[in-house]
Amino acid sequence: MKQAIQIKENMYWVGVHDFNCRHFHGDIFPIEEGTTYNAYLIVDEQITLIDTVEEEFFDIMMERIRSVIGDQPIHNVICQHAEPDHSGGFVKFMQAYPDAHPYASNAGVGIMLKQYFKDYDYRKVKTGDTLNIGKNTLTFVEMPLIHWPDNMLTYVAQQKIVFSNDAFGQHICSYDMFDDAHGLDKCLDRAKNYYANIVMPYGTQVANKLKQIKDMNLEIDMIAPAHGVIWRTYIEEMLAAYEDFATFKSKDKVVIVYESVWKHTQQMAEALAEGIGRNGVCVKVFKYSMTSPALVMKELMDAKAILVGSGCYNNVMAIDISGFLEKLKSCKIKGKKALGFGSYGWFNGVTKEINARLESAGFTLLTDDVLSQNYTPSEEDLDKLMELGKQLAEEIKTM
């Protein structure tokens, strides 16, 4: 039988390890080592479950629950987020525990009804509402658009623990359930990756919610998210990192993303990178079709600028670059600069279109120059691009 893992007195992790998951939310977020779907059980006068798991893993969750409480009833289930990786097992749970009371935010109830159709006598909660379950009292805090309208967290003052759902999550799949087993660098890197690919568009909401939580003066010694490991040693560092993520805090760094068939645009990318990288600015260069989109988004988080390049294909840019620019627009990135570049044969319009779409996505152009190369760049052309890279590096260092 699968066993629950105790995380505090009378509190247990009853979630699932999905070791085979390599694409989270479809192809947009490739991950390395699988993930977890975290559900938590509080054993009190009223036994309470925090979230469920993906429907296909419901039986595993139930094994872990029964390893603690056997055939005892569960009185409450807290639905912090209606997304199926957290609520997919909810209907089966209610079939197993028909007398349990489900709690969700106002938006959460609306989404649960639209996903699962039946009204399970949901109890709506808002920020500041509480639920006493015996020795422990749960306090609810709404977190709209981090990253759905219905998200909320649950705080248990007596145990100084926050169940944060998607906030502060990461994809670490391990039976070592706490952050200190994995080290600060790995935990923050995975949290950054998760934020960049799931939460990034909602930076304003994250910054506001972090301030609100600070103003509430909550005593916290553990944060238990819905994915990955539980924070207990690196909480201060993680909260500071989230503030940086939310405000797009940047360093002297440039990300270059391009697509190229005959290597003309690739030569341009590498010449620009040479000029930038040899003049005191970190530069990351990615051929987009050969790179995990998740990696590009993570690297962009703390970069001051991005350069986007494409060759010309039947009078339009590469489809991968077009999709990438659309993704950038959806991320609502603030305070960064950008520039397009590319090569062409007989239609010189792609670079202007890239620049226009970068501006539409909220970026400020680094220069008014249109970096378009007709066929193969000569040594002189490449030298000019390296010199421009040097100039861009100097500008970036003053930003």
Residues assigned a catalytic role: 25, 81, 83, 85, 147, 166, 194, 227
CA distance 368 to 322: 21
Q: Helices (H) and strands (E) in the chain — how many of each? A: 12, 22
CA distance 268 to 341: 8
Q: Would you tell me the crossing angle of helices 319-330 and 350-360 to the nearest 10 degrees?
A: 20
CA distance 114 to 103: 16
What is the torsion angle, in degrees rounded to the nearest 10, for the CA atoms of residue 24, residue 6, residue 165 and residue 83?
60
**371 backbone φψ class: left, alpha, beta (φ>0; ψ -120 to 50):** beta
Helix locations, the chain, DSSP H: 58-69, 84-87, 90-96, 106-116, 184-194, 203-215, 235-246, 264-277, 293-301, 319-330, 350-360, 379-397
| Integer CA distances (angstroms), 10 to 42, 63, 158, in order | 6, 17, 12
Q: Taking the mean position of all CA atoms in its chain, how far away is CA 238?
A: 14
Map residue 133 onto helix, strand or coil: coil
Sign of CA dihedral 107, 113, 114, 115: positive
CA distance 161 to 78: 15
Map residue 224 onto helix, strand or coil: strand
Contacts of 392 by beta carbon, 8 Å cutoff, 6+ apart: 254, 272, 275, 276, 305, 339, 366, 367
Contacts of 211 by beta carbon, 8 Å cutoff, 6+ apart: none
